[in-house]
Structure 1
C-alpha cells in the first residue's frame, strides 16, 4: 500500500512539473489625448507615442451643464489619420446630468461624430466621460441606452466608470447600457488624499472583476496637479499643465510616483483579474509638460523595465583659454532630483553657477551648491554654470 501511495504522489508531482507556465497577460494600452490646444509638441507626441499605444481616446467635445454650452476641440485630423491608430471620440459632460437638455445633448454628440467622420478621422467608437452621482445612475443608464440606439450599432459606446458605482444596485444597468467600460482609479477622492493609491486602485479593479462578467479597461494616471485651497480649506482650483490663474491660501503639489503604478501593474500581472482587457493612460504627455511623466517613463512602466535616473555632467569648451560650460543631462527614463552639489577638479580655479546652482569655495576646490530643489526630466539638459580650468577637466564629482 505504501508503495502505491508513493507512486501516486510521484505521478502527481511529475504532472504538476510538466504543466506549462501561465503566459503573461497581453493587455492593450491606449492613451487619452486631453489637450484642448493641439500645439506642435502634442503633434510630436502623437507621432512618437504611436509605437507605445494601440488606440487614441481624444477629447473632442466638452459640455457645461450650468450654461448649457458645448466646447468643440479643434483636433488635428491629419495627425490622427497619419498615426493610423483607431480613435475614440471622448465627450466630457461636466455637471449634473439633469441640467442637460437630453435632445440637444444627443444632437450635439451625433453632429460631432458626423463631423469627425467627414474629416477622415479613423473612428473606433464613442466614449462618454461623466462623473454621475449614484442617485442619478438610473437616469444616466437611460441616457446611455438612448444614445446607443442612435448609434445603431455602427460604433461601440464606451463609458468611464467611478469606483463609487461599484456598490450601487444600478451597476449592472450601467454596464449593460455600454459596449466598453473604463474604470477610473485616479483623482476620485478628496484631493488632500492624493491622486492615486496603488492598493486602493487594485481593490477597486478586483471588485469590478468580481461584479461583472463583462470585459473592462482601467484608466491609470501619468500626471501631476497642483491643488489650491482657501482659508477655510475649500478647494478653489486644480492646475495640471494649463495655468488656471486661480490662487489660494494653501497650495499642494500632487504627484503620482511611477514606481507606485509599476508596482500595481506587477501585482496584476502575477494575479490577472478576470475581465481586465487593458489600460488607458491619462494622459499623452508632451515635452512641454512640467508635471506629467515623459514618454520614456511611460514606456518603462508599461514594459516593466527598471525605473532609473542617470545624471551626468556635460562639459563644453567655449574658448581656448580653458572656459567650459556645464550642463546636467538625464540619460535615464524617469525624473531625477537635481544633485545637491557638484565638485570641480582642482585644476578649475574660477567659475559660477546658473539657475538653481551657486559657486562657492570648498576644502579641495570649487563647488557648485544647489540653492533650489528641482527635477530633471528624461533627456532634459540644464545649463548650470561655467568653469575656467588650467587643464582640460575630466568631469565633476556628483554628490546627491
Structure 2
C-alpha cells in the first residue's frame, strides 16, 4: 500500500504534460519519470536556496575583512556523495527492471501477434487472417506482440500512450510488446468500442519522416473478431475505382508524389498518365505512361527512374501492401489528373464480386 501511494505520488509529480495513459508500461515509466522530476525539483530548490543563503550570510561586511581558511570536512564529503549515489542506484534498479519487462514478450500463444513493416514513409500492419492496415488495431483483453521489420532504412515505432518504443532495423527482426489497459474501452457502450492513440516513427528516416504518423486503435475484446473481419474486407464501401484510388494515394503515395505539379521526392502525378516520350534517367524514353508502366513503377520502382529523380529510392509495394485492385484504383485516379486522358476514369465501378486480389483491366475484366 505504501509503495503504491509513493508510485502514485511520483506519477502526480509529472503534471499534465505526459501523453495519454492507455496501459502498456506507463505505470513503471511514469513513476520513474516522476521520481527523476522530484529529485530535480528538490535539488534545484535546495542548491539554489543554499546559494542565496550563503551569499547573504557570508557577504563581505568590511572591505578589510580577511576570509578564513577552508578546511576539509569528511562528513560533508559523505553527505554530498552518498545520497546522489543511492539515488542513481535506485533509478538504475527501477529502470533496469522496466527495461527487462519491455524486452521480454509473453510466451507464444499468450499474445496476439502482428507483423509491422516500415518503409519510407508509412506503416503496414499484417494480421494472421491476411488483413493489412495502415492503422494498428489491437485487442484490449490480451497482450500484443509486434514483429518489426524495415524494407529500406532505419525507423522506430513509438506508441506514447503505451510508453513503448523499438527501433525498426533493415535486415533484421525486432520484437516489441505491450498490453492495453482494458478500461480505455467498454463493451457496454458502442461509442467506446474503440480508443485511438498516436503512433509515430521516432528515428529520422528521410524527407517524409515527419509525415510517418498513424494511430494505434485499441478494440474492445468482445468486438475483436468482428473488427478482424471488417479490416480484411477490401473496399468495404464499394467505392468507384477513381474515388478509392484517391484514398490509396493519400495513404501510400502522397508523401512523395504531388497531384498539383508541385515538386516533391518523386514525379508529380499531374498530367503524368498518357504522357508520351517520358524521359528516363538511363537515357531511354518510355513511349507512353500507361497501365503497365505504372504497375511496374509500383512493384519495381527503381528499374525505370524518371529524369531528375535519379537519387530517389522508392520502396517496392508488393501485393501484400497494395493489392491489384488498389493498383487499378490508382491508375483510374491518375487518369482524372491528366490532360492526356481527357475522358477521366475508364472504369466506373468494380464488378460486384471483385475482392481486389486479382489483376483487373480498364474494362473490368479480371485475370487469375
| Class of the TM-score when normalised by the shorter of the 2 chains | under 0.3
Higher strand share: 1
Q: What TM-score do the two structures reach when normalised by structure 1?
A: 0.24
Q: What TM-score do the two structures reach when normalised by structure 2?
A: 0.26
Higher helix share: 2
Structure index of larger Rg: 2
